[in-house]
Amino acid sequence: MSTAAAAPSFDPCDPVAVAQALIRCPSVTPEDGGALGVLEAALAPLGFVCHRLRFEEEGTAPVDNLYARLGTEGPNFCFAGHTDVVPPGELKGWSIDPFAAEIHNGRLYGRGAVDMKGAIAAFVAAAARHIKEGGAPKGSISLLITGDEEGVAINGTRKVLDWMQAKGEKLDACVVGEPTNPKALGDMIKIGRRGSMTAFLTVHGAQGHVAYPHLADNPLPRLARMLAAITAEPLDAGTPHFQPSNLELTTIDVGNPAHNVIPAQGKATLNIRFNDLHTADTLLAWLRERLDGVGGSYELDHFVSGDSFLTPPGPLTELVADAAERVTGRRPEYSTTGGTSDARFIKNFCPVVEFGLVGQTMHKVDEHTTLDDLTRLTDIYGEVLRNVFDRIG
């Protein structure tokens, strides 16, 4: 734990300066690259008590995380995010150094500018301004920042939340700074996410010569019938807050180099993005029912990245929507589209929504955000901080 840090070399009230300092840290998962130190340097002088938390499991890389809190009373409003970024890829494809954080034509370029160092910088700046303008909050402001969101998400937010629970740290509401807006700032707030389950199907047979099929057992026709059985009809038609669930085959593998050999097995991998009509358990039972209907020997393994969840429209969603509308002039749509995020862990502890920058360049070459969006996102987070303790207390 640290309660003090050297004064930062940038103004924590300036979101562009904070974002540049963060982008210049090459924090490709699971490396920290100094990013959490940048945040500690900004937050500790403002009065935040900062806890650096390192977690690791056998077979996984250690990950550094940060939990910082200003205040000791409730309610505790949390901003969650991640400083880790995806690799920049081929550097020759970038027009600038992906970790130089250069500004060109009103745009800040660099890996993580959108996903999601820009949003973290906006919240830090909003918090710094709020504190300097109004003093201590009516409750507590906290930040939960992980370095393991773009990776396997084992040693990050989940374990920080477990640590918080063991320490008696309670969250009352949370905003995650994911880049939720499709085209313009103020387009969309994520109020939930579909679940994700990946399944690995192996169908067994008996190898043999193609000229003597009666002496073998070809698993591939059964594999084809099984895949037809699980893809023949849609899983559902969607729900009021969720789009339809979808099952996608991602690979079919036999690995048979010989044209005259019946293979011993065939494999397929599929992913199901599912809404609140299903759970991983009900989907697994549904898969087995259809596979058993075809018959034969098979194995079905799976893992679940997260279950579906929803924060129903209410005080938190309205708080963020009102703030976005006041700053941008547009009322955000409530959505549950997209992939998974760390909100899937936070939803077990408090209501959570996601709102951040425009996501059009995330994970792309020349990732960037406009300086105007960064400024306006800071203003939106500032509006949230000015009103949050009257709305969620």
Q: Contact 85/115 with Cβ under 8 angstroms?
A: yes
Catalytic residue, from 14, 32, 84, 307: name it.
84
Q: Which tokens in the block code for residue 92?
A: 């020759």
Q: Would you say 150 is a known binding-site residue?
A: yes
Rounded Cα gap, residues 193 and 175, in angstroms: 14
User: Where does residue 390 rank: exposed (0-12), middle (13-18), buried (19+ CB within 10 A)?
Assistant: exposed
Q: Would you say 178 is a known binding-site residue?
A: yes
Task: Report which residue type is found at 139.
Answer: G
The yes-or-no answer on residue 84 being catalytic is yes
| Full 3-state SS string of 92-158 | HHCCCCCCCCCEECCEEECCCCCCCHHHHHHHHHHHHHHHHHHCCCCCEEEEEEECCCCCCCCCCHH
Q: Would you say 363 is a known binding-site residue?
A: yes
Catalytic residue, from 40, 64, 148, 149: name it.
149
Can you say how many angstroms the Cα of residue 222 is from the centroid of all Cα atoms in its chain?
37
The yes-or-no answer on residue 379 being catalytic is no
User: Which active-site residues does the annotation give?
Assistant: 84, 149
Annotated binding residues for Zn(2+), written as ranges, equal 82, 115, 150, 178, 363
